[in-house]
Amino acid sequence: MILYFSLGYILLSSCKSKNTFSHHADSYYAHEYMAVSAREEASKTGAAILEKGGNAFDAAVAMHFVLAVTYPQAGNIGGGGFMVAQPASEEPVALDFREQAPAKAHEKVYLDEAGNVIPGMSILGHKASGVPGSVMGMFEIHRRYGTMPWSDLIQPAIHFALHGFVLTEKDVTELQEVIEELDSINGPNIFTYKKWKAGDTLKQPELAETLKRIALFGPDDFYRGETARLIIEEMKKHDNWIDSIDLTNYKAVWRKPLKGNFYGYEIITMPPPSSGGIALLQILFMLEQWKIHTLPFQSLRYIVTVAEAEKLAYADRSKYLGDPDFIRVPTDSLLSKNYLNQRIQDYGTPTKVTPASSIQPGKIFGFESEETTHFSVVDNKGNAVSITTTINSAYGSRVIVKSAGFIMNNEMDDFAVKPGVKNQFGLIGGKANAINPGKRMVSSMTPTIVKENGKIKMIVGSPGGATIITTVLQQLLNVLIFKQGMQQSCNHPRFHHQWIPDFLYLEESWKEKQNLLDSLGIAGYTIKIRPPIGRVSAILRTHDNRWEAGADRRGDNAAAGR
């Protein structure tokens, strides 16, 4: 225990640290390296690892585990995610550590005898969970690119689990929303045994023990050892939903990242089973054809143009996206210039709004993917890492694995539980995203890296369910086309359209522009004002070769670096 305490402590509290830190500053810059995430503890940990000589991959692994402790609403070991990375002297890579459906899952598992969806079953409780991928994902990143000892990278997380972290206002508000469900599913538990207030310190001793085992035995513990045993025990209460074979069979998969060009910038992003990369590249292509750079920023025509492109991409998502290990996802066709030019031609020009009912997924010829968290890291060795990870809803399925202290995901809801029936984000899907044992559910997570003349320009990503893609899109537009700084870009009000439901979603602050809202209504949109969209953690290379953070004020996001 002393060892765990001291290593974690030394990493974090070195008084000689040259790192600086920002939390809600106007703009924050560093010269050498930077880490940005949803929590100050994780960003500072990332910077401390980089200061010790670790690379961006080492930092990312340590940050992931710290988020699993200090951001339990989304950070996780019971979930999954994706990484897009630019290693210093290699082609870009993508790692898929998305959850998999357990062997007991099947197409009708969330339907009653009459074939209707059983409300909440894919969202709450044990059967909402897929087989977690995060521990395998982190181990795989470390195996291929890590330079520091694996167990050292987990010490900061153990430190925060043992000694606690201070809850923020937002933490307490988000916890309040799930307290009854956490209680009814788990009985008395670490998150609900007292009424937590902002400023209180939350310690998680059981999670600390789990992390110590992971530090010592890596994925062997989580998928085959003591933690596996605890997951299996937990699942025994519910028809052995996830069993030992599901856990031993889990694999993280290296995939080829998608690449596209947007006004001369190279966009590197996540392939299926995420839908994020395909949708993002489709929208960017259409916007370049529609000369988005000629339209005034956030004007009526600008919003219409972006929203119409979004609708076309989300329509394709609903039909074609699924797990590429199970179905043939027509990635090349969906991204081909011929197909997209045809789609644009069929659509016409976005001078007016086309109702969602008049838009259908395109026809391709021949076949050739609230709560999540994103973090971005860049080191001074030429590596850049962009990771989005999730347990899906805030506090996932609300199931806390007994004696292991971590929360299981409710990622099964990202499958099309029934063709055409909306999931919790209003997204629909069909055959391509139907449930099958071992299959991965379609995601919207869009970890992305942008390069300019071969050099890293931006590392970006966000949580937000269906809005992830359009949030990432808006950061690219704001920075690459409208030349905003990274923080300035994050601060701008966001909008979102996902084809179905046929609503233009706007954040609260748009209400200040009543004339614009009226014009959007006249143009044909049904407007829905909604809670904040996305929580970006991004890094931008400035023209004078500094790193600028984008730490979204919609969350407690923070940056650290030097």
277 binding ligand DON? (CB under 6 A):
no
- Check residue 464 for interaction with ligand DON (CB under 6 A): yes
Closest CB to ligand DON among 270 and 315? Answer: 270
Any contact of residue 445 with ligand DON (CB under 6 A)?
A: yes
Nearest to ligand DON of 129, 372 (CB atom)? 372
Q: Does 444 bind ligand DON (CB under 6 A)?
A: yes
Which one of the listed residues 372, 373, 390, 467 is annotated catalytic? 372
The stretch near ligand DON (CB under 6 A) out of 13-21, 160-168, 457-465, 506-514 is 457-465
Torsions phi, psi of 478, nearest 5?
A: -60, -40
**Residue 140 makes contact with ligand DON by CB under 6 A:** no
Please say if 372 is a catalytic residue. yes
Residue closer to ligand DON by CB (options 64, 343) is 64
Q: Does 465 bind ligand DON (CB under 6 A)?
A: yes
What sign does the CA torsion over 44, 466, 391, 276 have? negative
Tokens of 15: 């008084």
Q: In whole angstroms, how close is the CB of 59 to ligand DON at the nearest point?
A: 23
Report the relative pairing of strands 527-530 and 504-507 from DSSP bridges: parallel
Report helix, strand or coil for 556: coil
Which residue's CB is nearer to ligand DON, number 227 or number 393? 393
Which 342-381 positions form the footprint of ligand DON (CB under 6 A)? 370-372
CB of 174 to ligand DON, least distance (A): 11
**Separation in Å, CA 463 to CA 44, 244, 373, 392, 535:** 20, 30, 5, 9, 6
**CB contact at 8 A, 396 and 408:** yes
- C-alpha angle with apex 237: 162 to 418, nearest 5 degrees? 105
Quick check: 471 binds ligand DON (CB under 6 A)?
Answer: no
Residue 96 is a binding residue for ligand DON (CB under 6 A): no
Closer of 76 and 484 to ligand DON (Cβ): 76
Query: What CA dihedral angle connects 281, 428, 106 and 363, to 10 degrees?
Result: -60
Coil, helix or strand at residue 182: helix
User: CB of 363: closest distance to ligand DON in angstroms?
Assistant: 26
Using CA atoms, how far apart are residues 159 and 4, in angstroms rounded to an integer?
A: 7
CA angle 390, 399, 417 (to 5 degrees): 65
Residue 277 C-beta: closest distance to ligand DON, Å: 12
For ligand DON, the closer of residues 356 and 442 by Cβ is 442
Main-chain dihedrals φ then ψ at residue 160, nearest 5 degrees: -70, -30
Q: Indicate the residue among 410 and 491 with the shorter CB distance to ligand DON.
A: 410
Query: Near ligand DON by CB under 6 A, which window of 50-58, 297-305, 462-470, 506-514?
Result: 462-470
Q: Is residue 392 near ligand DON by the rule CB under 6 A?
A: yes
List helix spans (H) across 130-189. 134-145, 150-163, 169-176, 179-186
Least CB distance from residue 128 to ligand DON, whole Å? 11
Min separation Cβ 464 and ligand DON, Å? 5
Q: Is the peptide bond before 92 cis (omega within 30 degrees of 0)?
A: no
Q: Does 76 bind ligand DON (CB under 6 A)?
A: no
Return the number of the residue (330 or 447) whose C-beta is nearest ligand DON: 447
448 contacts ligand DON (rule: CB under 6 A): no
Both tokens assigned to 364: 């391709």
Q: Which stretch binds ligand DON (CB under 6 A): 123-131, 227-235, 441-449, 492-500?
A: 441-449
In the shown chain, the binding pattern of residues 413 to 432 toward ligand DON, with x for contact by CB under 6 A and - for none, equals -x------------------
The stretch near ligand DON (CB under 6 A) out of 8-16, 121-129, 339-347, 443-451 is 443-451
Q: Is 137 in the site for ligand DON (CB under 6 A)?
A: no
**Tokens in use for 127?**
């059967």
Compare residues 123 and 162 and give the one whose CB is closer to ligand DON: 123
Name, in order, each residue with C-beta under 8 angstroms of 156's C-beta and a sequence gap of 6 or more.
Answer: 8, 11, 12, 41, 45, 48, 62, 65, 66
Residue nearest to ligand DON (CB): 370
Which of 129, 390, 470, 557 forms a contact with ligand DON (CB under 6 A)? 390
**Which 3 state secondary structure label does DSSP give 487?**
helix
Query: Alpha helices of 447-554 — where are they, by DSSP H?
Result: 468-476, 486-491, 514-523
Task: Count the neighbouring beta carbons within 10 Å of the beta carbon of residue 538.
Answer: 31
Q: How far is the CB of 371 from ligand DON (least distance, A)?
A: 4
What are the residues whose beta carbons fall under 8 Å from the beta carbon of 242, sequence distance 6 or more?
102, 129, 131, 231, 232, 235
Nearer to ligand DON, 80 or 550 (CB): 80
Closer residue to ligand DON, CB minimum distance, 155 or 409: 409
User: H helices within 219-275, ranges in order?
Assistant: 219, 226-236, 244-249
Number of residues that bind ligand DON (CB under 6 A): 14
Residue 556 makes contact with ligand DON by CB under 6 A: no
Stretch that binds ligand DON, among 285-293, 334-342, 439-447, 522-530 (CB under 6 A): 439-447
Q: What share of the chain is helix, strand, coil (3-state, %, to 5)?
A: 40, 15, 45
List 468, 473, 536, 538, residue binding ligand DON (CB under 6 A) = 468
Which has the closest alpha carbon to 411: 42, 177, 139, 76? 76
Cβ at position 525, least distance to ligand DON in Å: 23
Using DSSP, state whether 391 is helix, strand or coil.
Answer: coil
Contact partners, residue 188, CB within 8 Å, separation at least 6: none
**CB of residue 45 vs ligand DON: minimum separation in angstroms?**
22
Could you tell me if 556 and 21 are in contact, meaning their C-beta atoms sit under 8 angstroms apart?
no
The catalytic site residues sit at 372
Tell me which residues touch ligand DON (CB under 6 A): 370-372, 390, 392, 411, 414, 443-445, 463-465, 468
